[in-house]
A and B are shown apart, each in its own frame.
Chain A
Amino acid sequence: MISANLSAIFYLVSGVLFILALRGLSSPETSRQGNLFGIIGMIIAVTVTFLSTGNFSNGFIYVLIFILFGGSIGAFIAYKIPMTAMPELVAGFHSLVGLAAVFVAISAFLNPEAFNLGSSGNIKLGSLIEMSIGAAVGAITFSGSVIAFLKLQGIMSGSPITFKGQHPLNAIILISIIILIYMLCSTQSSNLFWILLAVSFLIGFLLIIPIGGADMPVVISMLNSYSGWAAAGIGFTLENSALIITGALVGSSGAILSYIMCKGMNRSFFNVILGGFGATDEKSTNSSKEQRPVKSGNADDAAFLMKNASSVIIVPGYGMAVAQAQHALREMVDTLKKNDIKVSYAIHPVAGRMPGHMNVLLAEANVPYDEVFELEEINNDFANADVAFVIGANDVTNPVAKTDPQSPIYGMPVLDVEKCKSVLFVKRSLSPGYAGIDNDLFYKENTLMLFADAKKMTEDITKNL
């Protein structure tokens, strides 16, 4: 058994290693080393916990069994999961962190002696407050992530679910959570603790159902943040600095990602959280309801245009992930490069269903990361490029965001695709994108629509090159 001071120092070390793990992600070269730091930090934290309890009795074996049991499930998932399913995976993992926080809080509430928090029914006030906050946030993270997971997986409809009185109801529940925590701390009643958990599960569910599919990048980042705050809450209860540091890191990381995602859509955080976007903005679409002519072409036309181009910019979006077209796309690009055509990729911050979603898919298809550019880096290049190849993206290319102040997406940063000499737009139909707005780009002189499945079209183009 090691002293409390020594173990506190080791927890601090593992906290610092976690900081270095995030720091490593500032560039792909250092990122793998960063991940290693994270793993070492985790091993230190777990080992020190074993040593500090000094209890190697029968319970110890079961702890190992459960770690191996969970670990093998986790490892299995990690190796089997397709890269396109990454958003669902992350949402699913968030729910587990939330639930684990809830379970630890329950355990500490039932047996406070084991955690040095006082005795059952007479838990130290500070610990009880921290514990109930950790449990409530954990429960919200859990049920919210489960809903996000179901929506991303397609088990539940991705469209927003709204009903009358939704916002007042949510407000009442949130206030009741605060009152419950106050009452729980003054009475120490275990019934109140269970009610608090139940109500928190409910609000997590209610908060996420009104948020639609394309807002998922914000939701996932937000739940990422919540899982951090839940961990920090438990960290305060357990007086464990590794948990507090990690919770704060993860909490602020998720918050920054939500901010970046909101900015990418030019929407305020509250606007996203209150939800219902896309379902209520019908009126603005009416103006462009009349049939306008579009030029459509086939793979042959597209191949001809690209063959005669000297530079091509590819704009991937969620549709590429759905069609699993990233490998076919890379093959097309390889053929283009053989013909001495310069190819780069332009990624909008909210392309896909989670931050960085497109980058991972392109990396999976062996696209070198130095050919992939963010919006600010590449937006000026469209004017000099010959062909823009839009595959599975829609709203993020809509010039309406720059021209029509009435449009719900007005002010959102978009890729200046229309400045290219010609635009190839791969899409299954003319249907509007997630935001429910017609894309002006479809009707431009220099746009050629390619109506087909993204993967099939890309393969056909490659054949014709």
Chain B
Amino acid sequence: MEIDPLIFRLSIFILSIFVGYYVVWSVTPSLHTPLMSVTNAISSVIIVGAIIAGLSGNSESVFNTSSIFGFLAIALAAINIFGGFLVTQRMLAMYKKKKKDKK
């Protein structure tokens, strides 16, 4: 009997939780705020679902109830992706080491 593909996805899911667990514990506490903003940005990869939904209309009518929800989700996720990555970059650029020459 064949294994349900769901089991494979479940395996990916469980293993990723473990990967996340160890990776996040190694994040230095001073970078916890950038951690939150970058997780925010990457969780917006949900945009892939939104794009599929947005493109679900046929060529005669681009807009139907389903695709409109898709387009709205695209806009929301895009705010998050751009906002999240850029604000993380802005924050990380501020973390500087002590200058050696200046006492």
Say if the beta carbon of A328 comes within 8 Å of chain B.
no
User: Do residues A96 and B80 form an inter-chain contact, with CB atoms below 8 A?
Assistant: yes
Count of A-B residue pairs with CB < 8 Å: 385
Specify which chain A residues have a CB less than 8 angstroms from the CB of B103 in the assembled complex.
337
In the bound assembly, the distance between CA atoms of A5 and B21 in angstroms comes to 28
Known: A58-B59, A114-B56, A241-B12. A42 touches B45 (CB 8 A): yes
In the bound assembly, the distance between CA atoms of A48 and B51 in angstroms comes to 11
In the bound assembly, the distance between CA atoms of A223 and B41 in angstroms comes to 14
B56's contact among A14, A107, A249, A364, by CB below 8 Å, is which? A107
Specify which chain A residues have a CB less than 8 angstroms from the CB of B93 in the assembled complex.
32
Say if the beta carbon of A1 comes within 8 Å of chain B.
no
SS class of chain B's interface: helix, strand, loop or mixed?
helix
In the bound assembly, the distance between CA atoms of A246 and B40 in angstroms comes to 10
Say if the beta carbon of A318 comes within 8 Å of chain B.
no
Residues 68-91 of A, flagged 1 when their CB comes within 8 A of B and 0 if not, give 111111110111010100100110
In the bound assembly, the distance between CA atoms of A359 and B29 in angstroms comes to 9
Chain A residues bordering chain B, tally (CB within 8 A): 118
User: Do residues A356 and B31 form an inter-chain contact, with CB atoms below 8 A?
Assistant: yes
A255 to chain B, nearest CB (A): 8
A338 to chain B, nearest CB (A): 9
B22 to chain A, nearest CB (A): 9
- B71-90 interface (Cβ within 8 A of A): 71-90
Known: A71-B82, A79-B86, A242-B48. A251 touches B17 (CB 8 A): yes
- B85-103 interface (Cβ within 8 A of A): 85-99, 103
A124 to chain B, nearest CB (A): 10
In the bound assembly, the distance between CA atoms of A448 and B48 in angstroms comes to 57
A349 to chain B, nearest CB (A): 7
User: Do residues A21 and B69 form an inter-chain contact, with CB atoms below 8 A?
Assistant: no
Known: A32-B92, A103-B50. A63 touches B32 (CB 8 A): no
- B30-58 interface (Cβ within 8 A of A): 30-57
- By beta carbon, the residue of chain B nearest A83 is B91
Say if the beta carbon of B27 comes within 8 Å of chain A.
yes
User: Do residues A359 and B33 form an inter-chain contact, with CB atoms below 8 A?
Assistant: yes
In the bound assembly, the distance between CA atoms of A397 and B54 in angstroms comes to 53
Residue of A45, A79, A372 ringed by the most chain B CB atoms within 10 A: A45
User: Do residues A224 and B77 form an inter-chain contact, with CB atoms below 8 A?
Assistant: no
User: Do residues B26 and A26 form an inter-chain contact, with CB atoms below 8 A?
Assistant: yes
User: Do residues B43 and A250 form an inter-chain contact, with CB atoms below 8 A?
Assistant: yes
Question: Can you list 13 A-B contacts with CB-CB less than 8 angstroms, sorted by A residue number?
Answer: A22-B23, A32-B93, A35-B34, A66-B78, A83-B91, A101-B46, A243-B46, A247-B43, A248-B14, A248-B17, A260-B32, A356-B30, A368-B98
Nearest first, the 10 A-B pairs at minimum CB distance are A70-B78, A356-B32, A74-B83, A114-B56, A74-B82, A248-B16, A111-B66, A355-B32, A252-B20, A78-B86
